[in-house]
């Protein structure tokens, strides 16, 4: 497997710390609004990476956070709190906003056949870990307290600019022009680990800490959750290119200062999806969501297919014209696969040969368009029986996840499924708020409909009784 590593700016052989096992961390959404299809392009690339690694035989443990606190509108610790902004916009509490948009995000993931990572953690559930880390950073002089907030001192970090390759002088110009100067910082790019003094008096989410009541900065969340769930060494960390600076740069600085050694070996970043006017955003023009695409008559998988046709490191321009082409091509491809007869024997030798071709395409820095070419090569191969073709493509679809062998296109979960998932989330929130009466009522209500909830360490599942 070869992967482009942002850290070293080249394509490298992928060698995990522990043979056969991959520890992977992917930054999750800030749940103050719907995800736009640009955000979801990043999650599609991460999904392919996870499933592709499994296809190669690795045992992958993937963790993702849900940012429900601490992310300000400017990545440089200034501006309004994104969650508070969302709550104000909709006249709801931050908890309600987080809950609503987390569910919406999961629905988008399901619609796009993006498998939910094994471990998904809310940032607000790990406050003790951040406090423990910040205490050590303060003890070892990597951090300082100024005007009540705790800051990380970037001048103490080893090679702070190694991931971004940015020149500190260039950044200084940027600071003067765009970032509101925080006079409490020693260096303009020092970042907040813990906010106690802030201009957001109505902050709903706050916790007691050795430095006063407050809340964590955005960056410490990913370092903390990764440390807690994956330990001291990480193989792959992913996100969109906008995460390289400052978010991932700051994650590296604080994690390595805390751990006292190198933390993550491979940093993989997906290029952006832009609209025809430039960068995609949630505030300008038409807000492109998966639901909007569904409303306009597309299947979410048309969009997944559209993404897979280009390389994750190339920026991609979205247009309905290009999506129409993707939709038609996918439909033709699926019809071809579905018209194959399924009787007879599978040619194992050919099956294995094409599996290797597919692995090879994936191993070339996740070359998804080449992976799709292998699908066409299989269909064109006149020496293959129909059933062999069908079985090979069914196998590839474990990674591509385009429902190539599924008769009815899966657009959305059934209404009942949706209702159950919503109730499970509601019950989880009730328990978190110590409203056990409500939690029991939800459980009994579902049981009366023949749905039995089963609580496991990984979360709640259900069975029909």
Contacts with Zn ion by CB under 5 A lie at 27, 222
Which residues, 6 or more positions from 41, have their beta carbon under 8 angstroms from its beta carbon?
A: 240, 270, 272, 273, 307, 316
Q: Residue 258: phi, psi to the nearest 5?
A: -70, -45
Beta carbon of residue 67, minimum distance to Zn ion (angstroms, whole number): 8
Judged by CB under 6 A, which of 1, 3, 27, 137 binds ligand AMP?
Answer: 27
Q: Strands of 273-275's sheet, edge to edge?
A: 278-279, 273-275, 316-317
Contact between 217 and ligand AMP by CB under 6 A: the answer reads: no
Task: Return d(Cα 29, Cα 50) in angstroms, integer.
Answer: 18
Contact between 368 and ligand AMP by CB under 6 A: the answer reads: no
Q: Which residue has its beta carbon closest to ligand AMP? A: 240
Beta carbon of residue 12, minimum distance to ligand AMP (angstroms, whole number): 22
Per partner kind, with CB cut-offs from 5 to 8 A, the member of Zn ion, ligand AMP, none near residue 378 is none
Judged by CB under 6 A, which of 122, 219, 272, 423 binds ligand AMP?
Answer: 272
Judged by CB under 6 A, which of 154, 236, 257, 280 binds ligand AMP?
Answer: 280
Q: Residue 73: phi, psi to the nearest 5?
A: -65, -30
Beta carbon of residue 38, minimum distance to ligand AMP (angstroms, whole number): 3
Beta carbon of residue 247, minimum distance to Zn ion (angstroms, whole number): 5
**How far is residue 329 from each of residues 174, 398, 404, 407, measured CA to CA in Å?**
44, 20, 12, 16
**Smallest Cα–Cα separation from 420: which of 391, 392, 452?**
452
Per partner kind, with CB cut-offs from 5 to 8 A, the member of Zn ion, ligand AMP, none near residue 280 is ligand AMP
Beta carbon of residue 42, minimum distance to ligand AMP (angstroms, whole number): 4
Contact between 86 and ligand AMP by CB under 6 A: the answer reads: no
Q: How many residues bind ligand AMP (CB under 6 A)?
A: 15
Q: Where are the alpha helices (DSSP H) in 154-244?
A: 168-178, 218-230
Per partner kind, with CB cut-offs from 5 to 8 A, the member of ligand AMP, Zn ion, none near residue 117 is none
- DSSP reduced 3-state for 296: coil
Per partner kind, with CB cut-offs from 5 to 8 A, the member of ligand AMP, Zn ion, none near residue 137 is none
Site string for ligand AMP, 239-258 (x = CB under 6 A): xx-xx---------------
Query: Which DSSP string do the residues of 309-333 spell out, in sequence order?
Result: TS-TTS-EE--HHHHHHHHHHHHHH
Beta carbon of residue 67, minimum distance to ligand AMP (angstroms, whole number): 6
- CB atoms closer than 10 angstroms to residue 345: 8
Strands 264-270 and 215-216: unpaired
**Between vectors from CA 129 to CA 126 and to CA 133, what angle results, nearest 5°?**
145
Query: Which DSSP string do the residues of 266-277 spell out, in sequence order?
Result: EEEEEPPEEETT
Contact between 16 and ligand AMP by CB under 6 A: the answer reads: no
Judged by CB under 6 A, which of 6, 39, 102, 149 binds ligand AMP?
Answer: 39
**Interacting residues toward ligand AMP by CB under 6 A:** 27, 29-30, 38-39, 41-42, 239-240, 242-243, 270, 272-273, 280
């Amino acid at each position: 497997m070869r992967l482009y590593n942002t850290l070293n700016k080249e394509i490298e052989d992928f060698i995990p710390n522990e043979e056969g096992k991959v520890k992977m961390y992917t930054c999750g959404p800030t749940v103050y609004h719907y995800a736009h299809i640009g955000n979801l392009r990043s999650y599609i690339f991460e999904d392919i990476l996870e499933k592709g690694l499994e296809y190669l035989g690795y045992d992958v443990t993937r963790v993702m956070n849900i940012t429900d606190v601490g992310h300000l509108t400017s990545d440089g610790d200034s501006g309004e709190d994104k969650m508070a902004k969302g709550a104000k916009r909709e006249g709801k509490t931050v908890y309600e906003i987080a809950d609503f948009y987390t569910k919406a995000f999961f629905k988008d993931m399901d619609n796009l056949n993006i498998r939910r990572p094994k471990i998904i953690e809310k940032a607000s559930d790990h406050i003790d870990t951040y406090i423990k880390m910040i205490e050590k950073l303060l003890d070892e002089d990597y951090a300082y307290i100024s005007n009540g907030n705790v800051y990380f001192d970037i001048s103490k970090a080893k090679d702070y600019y190694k991931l971004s390759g940015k020149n500190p002088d260039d950044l200084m110009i940027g600071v003067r022009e765009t970032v509101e100067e925080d006079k409490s910082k020693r260096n303009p790019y020092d970042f907040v680990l813990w906010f106690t003094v802030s201009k957001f008096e109505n902050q709903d989410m706050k916790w007691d800490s050795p430095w006063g009541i407050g809340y964590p900065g955005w960056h410490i969340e990913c370092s903390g959750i990764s440390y807690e769930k994956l330990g001291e060494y990480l193989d792959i960390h992913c996100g969109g290119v906008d995460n390289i600076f400052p978010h991932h740069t700051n994650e590296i600085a604080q994690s390595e200062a805390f751990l006292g050694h190198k933390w993550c070996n491979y940093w993989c970043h997906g290029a952006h999806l832009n609209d025809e006017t430039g960068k995609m955003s949630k505030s300008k023009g038409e807000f492109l969501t998966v639901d909007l695409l569904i409303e306009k008559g597309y299947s979410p998988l048309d969009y997944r297919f559209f993404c897979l046709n280009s390389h994750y490191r190339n920026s991609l321009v979205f247009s309905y014209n290009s999506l129409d082409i993707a939709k038609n091509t996918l439909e033709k491809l699926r019809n071809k696969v579905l018209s194959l007869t399924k009787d007879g024997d599978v040619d194992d030798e050919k099956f294995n040969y094409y599996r290797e071709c597919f692995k090879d395409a994936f191993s070339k820095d996740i070359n998804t368009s080449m992976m799709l070419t292998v699908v066409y090569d299989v269909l064109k191969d006149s020496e293959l029986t129909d059933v062999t073709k069908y079985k090979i493509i069914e196998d590839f679809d474990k990674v591509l996840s385009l429902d190539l062998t599924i008769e009815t296109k899966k657009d959305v979960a059934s209404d009942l499924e949706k209702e159950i998932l919503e109730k499970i989330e509601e019950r989880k929130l009730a328990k978190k708020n110590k409203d056990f009466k409500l939690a029991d009522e939800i459980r009994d209500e579902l049981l009366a409909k023949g749905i039995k909830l089963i609580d496991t360490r990984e979360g709640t599942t259900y069975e029909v009784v």
